[in-house]
C-alpha cells in the first residue's frame, strides 16, 4: 500500500510538472511568434462587459494557481452565481458556456491561455493584474476628464 501511495504521489507530481511545462512552452511560443493575444484596452473592456467573464477574472485574480481546470471554473460559477442551481443540466450549461463562449474570449488576452483539449486555463497572474490595472487607470482617466 505504501508503494502504491508513493507511485500515486509521483504520478501526481509528474502531471503537475508536465502542466507547468506546457504552460511555459505555450507562453514562450506566443511570445516567439509575436502572437501574444490582445492587450488592447478595448479587448479588455469587451471581456469585462459580461458578468460571467467578470466572475472568471475575479477567480483568476484571487487564485494562487498558474493552472486551473475547466471543472474548477465551473465549480466556482455554480457556487457564486445565485441564478445557477447545482443540478446536472445547469452544470452542463455552465460548462458549455465557459468552453465555447467565455474561455475562448479570455484566451484572446495576453495573460490567459485556454487549452480546450486539456480543459485547462494557464494564467500569467502578474500580467493579468497589470492589464486590469491598465483598465482601472483608463477608467480613472475618463472620470478625471469628466470632472474637469
Specify the residue for cell string 497572474. 125
Specify the residue for cell string 511560443. 29
CA distance 137 to 128: 14
In 81-121, which ranges are continuous DSSP H helix? Answer: 88-97, 103-107
pLDDT, tens digit, 9 for 90 and up, residues 67-124: 999 999 999 998 888 777 767 778 889 999 999 999 999 998 878 999 989 999 999 9
Strand (E) or helix (H) holding 122: strand 120-123
pLDDT, tens digit, 9 for 90 and up, residues 23-35: 555 555 555 444 4
CA distance 39 to 110: 6
- pLDDT-above-90 percentage for the chain: 43
Specify the residue for cell string 474561455. 103
Query: 3-class SS at 112?
Result: strand
Q: Could you tell me which residues come within 8 angstroms of residue 116 by beta carbon, excluding any fewer than 6 positions away?
A: 99, 103, 104
Amino acid at each position: 500500500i505504501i508503494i502504491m501511495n508513493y507511485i500515486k504521489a509521483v504520478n501526481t507530481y509528474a502531471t503537475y510538472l508536465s502542466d507547468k511545462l506546457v504552460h511555459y512552452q505555450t507562453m514562450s511560443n506566443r511570445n516567439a511568434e509575436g502572437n501574444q493575444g490582445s492587450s488592447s484596452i478595448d479587448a479588455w473592456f469587451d471581456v469585462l462587459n459580461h458578468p460571467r467573464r467578470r466572475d472568471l477574472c475575479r477567480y483568476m485574480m484571487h487564485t494562487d494557481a498558474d493552472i486551473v481546470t475547466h471543472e474548477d471554473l465551473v465549480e466556482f460559477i455554480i457556487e457564486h452565481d445565485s441564478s445557477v442551481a447545482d443540478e446536472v443540466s445547469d452544470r452542463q450549461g455552465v460548462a458549455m458556456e465557459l468552453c465555447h463562449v467565455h474561455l475562448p474570449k479570455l484566451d484572446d488576452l495576453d495573460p490567459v491561455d485556454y487549452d480546450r483539449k486539456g480543459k485547462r486555463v494557464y494564467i500569467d497572474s502578474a500580467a493579468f493584474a497589470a492589464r486590469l490595472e491598465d483598465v482601472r487607470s483608463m477608467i480613472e482617466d475618463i472620470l478625471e476628464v469628466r470632472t474637469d
